[in-house]
Amino acid sequence: MSKKIGTKCVQGGYTPGNGEPRQIPIIQSTTFKYNTSEDMGKLFDLEASGYFYSRLQNPTCDTVANKICELEGGSAAMLTSSGQAANFYSIFNIANCGDHIISCATIYGGTYNLFAVTMKKMGIEFTFVPPTITEEELDKCFKPNTKAVFGETLSNPSLDILDIELFSKVAHKHGVPLIVDNTFPTPINCRPIEWGADIVTHSTTKYMDGHGAAVGGCIVDAGKFDWMANADKFPGLTTPDDSYHGITYAEKFGKEGAFITKATAQLMRDFGSTQSPQSAFILNLGLESLHVRMAKHCENGQRVAEFLNSDDRIDSVKYPGLGDNALAKKYLPNGSCGVVSFRIKGGRKVAEAFMKNLKVAAIETHVADARTCCLHPASATHRQMSDSELLACGIYPDLVRFSCGLEDAEDLINDIKQALDNI
Ligand SMILES: *Cc1c(COP(=O)(O)O)cnc(C)c1O
C-alpha cells in the first residue's frame, strides 16, 4: 500500500513484528556476534548483508535512514555524523584527485569552505556558478573531468531556489549526476528526486531533528543514475574494488544499491563519520512530527516575512512565499521553510544592534530549530569569505538570517518590532 508523506514520517522505515517494541530499538552495540569466521568473512566480502561493526553500519541508524529514504522516494540511504560528512561523502564517493565538480555558488558557508578550501587541497577542483545561470552558460562549465553538479534546493542563507529540472537536464546531458542538498525544504516541501536529482543530501541537524538536540546527516540515492552507461567517468563504481576481492559495485548492487554500498563499504570504513544510534533515535523522534512542524515553521516564516516586507526600516526581504516567484510556485507549492533572510537599512552596525535587542529570538549559529534563532552570516558562518565571495554567495554585510521556530507568530513579530524600535 502506498502511503502519504505524513504516514511515512510517523511509521516509515520500521514495522515491528509480533511482540516487538513499538518504538525503534536503540542498538547500542559496537559489534555483532557470529557463529563462524566463515559467516563473518562473507560480510567482509560483501557476499552477505549484515552487521559486524557500527563504524560501518548499525541497525538503528539504518532504520532511520530507511525512513528518510522513503520520504525522499529513493532506493537506498545512509546516515552520517553530520551534514558536512554527507556532502563530503556524496562527492568524494565519485570524484578523485584531478576531477572537477560544478557547484551552485549559493550554498551553506560550511559547504563552500569544504569545497573551495579543503577538497581543493585534495585535488578536486570546483567551478561555482550562480543559481540563475542559463542552460547555455551551464553547458560551457563542463570539462572532460567533470563528475557531478551540486546545489541546494533552497540555499542557506540566501534562500535562492535551485531550478532542479534545468540543472539535472544539463548534468545528465554530460553523463554526470545531480546532487541536491535538500536540508531547508525537507522532503515535506520538496522531493528533488521527483524533479531529476540523483543524490539527495541532508543536514538532519536542522528541521529533521528540529529540536537542536543531535547533529547528523543523511545521503539518499535515487537509484536512477546509470553508472555503467558512463563507466569511464566513474571507475570507482564500474571497475573492481581490490579492497573487497574485486567486486564491481555497479554490477553487483545495480543502479539502486551501488552508490550507498560503496559509500558505506569504503568511505565509512576509512573515514568513520558514522552517526551514533542514540542520535539516530533522537532524529527519528523529530521525523515523527516533521510534517506537522514544517507547516507551522512555514506559517511563521510567511507571517514574519510579510511583516518585515511592510516595515520601511527594512531594506529588502528574501522569502520564497513573497511576491510572484515562479520557481517557488513550481518547486515549493506548499511552502518552503521557516527561514527569512532580510537586509536592514543602515548597514552592518544596525543589523548587529537589531539582533542584540531581540528577546524571543536568540543569536545562534543554529538554524531550523523549534526555538527562533537568528544569525549575522557575514560575521559568523561566512566569516572566512572575502566581500566579493560573500556577494557571489548572495550574502550582503547587512543580511540577517532569521529562523522562525514554533512559537506564536504574534510573539515573533512583536519581538522584531521592539528590537527595531530600540535600535
Ligand atoms: C547546516 C547545513 C549543512 C551542514 O550540516 P551540519 O549538520 O551542520 O554538518 C549543510 N547544508 C546545509 C544546507 C545546512 O544548512
CATH code, domain carrying 170 = 3.40.640.10
Q: What is the CATH number of the domain that holds 395?
A: 3.90.1150.10
Atom of ligand 1 nearest to the CA of 155: 13
- Ligand 1 centroid to Cα of residue 326, in Å, is 26
**Residues near 392 by Cβ (< 8 Å), separated by ≥ 6?**
105, 128, 130
- Ligand 1 centroid to Cα of residue 195, in Å, is 22
Asked if pLDDT for residue 382 goes beyond 80, the answer is no
- Ligand 1 centroid to Cα of residue 167, in Å, is 21
265 and 236 both lie in a single domain: yes
| Residue 1 covered by a domain | no
- Ligand 1 centroid to Cα of residue 210, in Å, is 13
Q: Is the CB of 215 under 6 A from ligand 1?
A: yes
Query: What's the pLDDT score for residue 77?
Result: 98
Report which of residues 109 and 395 the model is more confident about: 109
Q: Is the CB of 221 under 6 A from ligand 1?
A: no
26 and 171 both lie in a single domain: yes
246 and 390 both lie in a single domain: no
- Ligand 1 centroid to Cα of residue 36, in Å, is 42
Asked if pLDDT for residue 2 goes beyond 80, the answer is yes
177 and 89 both lie in a single domain: yes
303 and 231 both lie in a single domain: no
Query: What's the pLDDT score for residue 378?
Result: 82
- Of 230, 253, 285, the residue at which a domain comes to its end is 285
- Ligand 1 centroid to Cα of residue 106, in Å, is 13
- Ligand 1 centroid to Cα of residue 45, in Å, is 33
91 and 206 both lie in a single domain: yes
296 and 280 both lie in a single domain: no
122 and 231 both lie in a single domain: yes
Q: Which domain holds residue 206?
A: 15-285
- CA-nearest residue, atom 8 of ligand 1: 83
pLDDT digits (tens, 9 = 90+) for 213-265: 999 999 999 999 999 999 999 999 999 999 888 999 999 999 999 999 999 99
Asked if pLDDT for residue 60 goes beyond 80, the answer is yes
**pTM for the complete prediction?**
0.97
Which pLDDT band holds residue 317 (cuts at 50, 70, 90)? very high
| Residue 8 covered by a domain | no
Query: What's the pLDDT score for residue 347?
Result: 86
Residue 321 grid cell: 512565499
| Residue 125 covered by a domain | yes
Asked if pLDDT for residue 211 goes beyond 90, the answer is yes
Which pLDDT band holds residue 74 (cuts at 50, 70, 90)? very high
Atom of ligand 1 nearest to the CA of 84: 9
| Residue 170 covered by a domain | yes
- Ligand 1 centroid to Cα of residue 360, in Å, is 24
- Of 260, 285, 310, the residue at which a domain comes to its end is 285
Number of domains in the chain: 2
pLDDT digits (tens, 9 = 90+) for 104-121: 999 998 999 999 999 999
Which pLDDT band holds residue 326 (cuts at 50, 70, 90)? very high
305 and 163 both lie in a single domain: no
- Of 240, 261, 285, the residue at which a domain comes to its end is 285
- CA-nearest residue, atom 7 of ligand 1: 83
Measured CA to CA, the distance from residue 16 to residue 2 in angstroms comes to 18
Residue 196 grid cell: 531529476
265 and 375 both lie in a single domain: no
Residue that is written with C-alpha cell 521556530 in the block: 405
- CA-nearest residue, atom 2 of ligand 1: 203
Q: Amino acid identity of 113?
A: N
190 and 339 both lie in a single domain: no
Q: Is the CB of 189 under 6 A from ligand 1?
A: no
Q: Is the CB of 203 under 6 A from ligand 1?
A: yes
Query: What's the pLDDT score for residue 414?
Result: 98
Asked if pLDDT for residue 201 goes beyond 90, the answer is yes
223 and 308 both lie in a single domain: no
Query: What's the pLDDT score for residue 383?
Result: 80
Report which of residues 227 and 383 the model is more confident about: 227
Atom of ligand 1 nearest to the CA of 368: 15
Pocket test for ligand 1, best of 107, 205, 209 (most atoms within 8 A of CB): 205
pLDDT digits (tens, 9 = 90+) for 146-174: 999 999 999 998 899 999 999 999 999 99
| Segment of 1-10, 33-42, 80-89, 388-397 carrying the highest mean pLDDT | 80-89
| Residue 5 covered by a domain | no
Q: Is the CB of 111 under 6 A from ligand 1?
A: yes
The fraction of the chain above a pLDDT of 70, given in percent, is 100
**CA distance to 331, 406, 414, per residue, from 420 (Å):** 33, 22, 10
